[in-house]
């Protein structure tokens, strides 16, 4: 089965600039792009300025010139749930990102479910966090509908290491949680993104998650790591095959469920420290690895 392969550029943009990062991904043999609106959504970034639409149009022109379509994109994770759980509607940057996604010709915009930094030690607190997310994403649906964008919900993990033995699972780490959030939002404008690295850190059965998501799985982050290795930061975003995930089972589940989307990686690691020539060698190897795994 043939798939288009894609690469994210969040860390590469910081080292090589936007155009340099996109050219690097193109030269490495990738066919499409996971665009990091998150990287450009800081208060001093172009998405926060007055000319953000003009900037998005520049991105669209560069994408067309390079023949590197934006097939998925990342929203910022600037907003979080307040400690007292009072409701705050989506900030303006999220509505801008939905429109900018349409400007660059991208249909799938990936969001992390919103979290709070504190320990989630009860089912009652999990329920309140869930209700908060439902309300927040409902507020985004009119914009998603207007601009033809699909919200992709990405599974997360306990990145702050706040959970204790005996606590309920951290919110939105399991297939059950993700499916419930998608269904409770209740819109055809909502699908799912599976981050294999997040799932591995959370001890999930990744092929089983793929089978549970089935036709609701719209996008992928095919990241490798060594699982939970606290106190070291675990979300290493290694290329497939550089960590401990069993990739043959992952791709068998993708074939079994008829996944037709993009095979996307999110390189971070140490690439941002390396010269372009070495980045290019490593990215080419990653592209070839994806091509072999999906045969």
Best CA proximity match to 59, nearest among 5, 30, 99, 6: 99
47: domain CATH number is 3.20.20.150
- pTM as predicted: 0.95
Query: Within 13 Å and on the Cβ side, how many CA atoms surround 127?
Result: 3
Q: Which domain covers residue 146, as residue numbers?
A: 5-293
Residue 1 pLDDT: 42
Structural domain count of the chain: 1
pLDDT attached to residue 269: 67
At residue 203, the pLDDT reads 95
Full pLDDT tens readout for the chain, 295 residues = 457 899 998 888 888 999 999 999 999 999 999 999 999 999 999 999 999 999 999 999 999 999 999 999 999 998 999 999 999 999 999 999 999 999 999 999 999 999 988 899 999 999 999 999 999 999 999 999 999 999 999 999 998 889 999 999 999 999 999 999 999 999 999 999 999 999 999 999 999 999 999 999 999 999 999 998 877 788 888 999 999 999 999 999 999 999 999 999 998 767 878 889 999 999 999 999 999 998 8
């Amino acid at each position: 089965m043939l798939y288009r392969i894609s690469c994210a550029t969040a860390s590469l943009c910081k080292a090589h600039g936007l155009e340099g990062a996109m050219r690097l991904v193109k030269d490495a043999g990738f066919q499409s792009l996971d665009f990091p609106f998150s990287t450009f959504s800081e208060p001093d970034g172009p998405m926060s300025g007055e000319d953000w639409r003009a900037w998005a149009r520049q991105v669209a022109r560069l994408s067309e010139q390079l023949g590197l379509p934006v097939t998925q994109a990342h929203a910022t994770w600037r907003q979080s749930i307040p400690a007292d759980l009072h409701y705050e509607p989506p900030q303006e940057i999220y509505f801008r990102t939905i429109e900018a996604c349409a400007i660059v010709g991208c249909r799938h915009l990936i969001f992390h479910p919103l979290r709070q930094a504190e320990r989630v030690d009860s089912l009652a607190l999990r329920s309140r966090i869930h209700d908060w997310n439902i309300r927040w994403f409902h507020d985004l649906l009119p914009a998603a509908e207007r601009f033809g964008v699909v919200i992709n919900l990405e599974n997360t993990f306990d990145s702050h290491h706040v959970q204790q033995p005996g606590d309920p699972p951290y919110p939105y780490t399991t297939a059950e949680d993700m499916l419930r959030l998608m269904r409770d939002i209740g819109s055809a404008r909502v699908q799912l993104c599976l981050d294999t690295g997040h799932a591995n850190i959370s001890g999930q059965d990744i092929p089983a998650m793929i089978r549970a998501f089935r036709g609701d799985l719209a996008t992928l982050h095919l990241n490798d790591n060594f699982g939970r290795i606290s106190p070291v930061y675990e979300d290493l975003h290694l290329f497939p095959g550089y960590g401990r995930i069993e990739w043959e089972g992952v791709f068998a589940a993708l074939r079994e469920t008829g996944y037709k989307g993009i095979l996307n990686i999110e390189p971070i690691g140490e690439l941002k420290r390396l010269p372009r020539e070495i980045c290019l060698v490593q990215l080419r190897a990653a592209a070839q690895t994806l091509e072999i795994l999906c045969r």
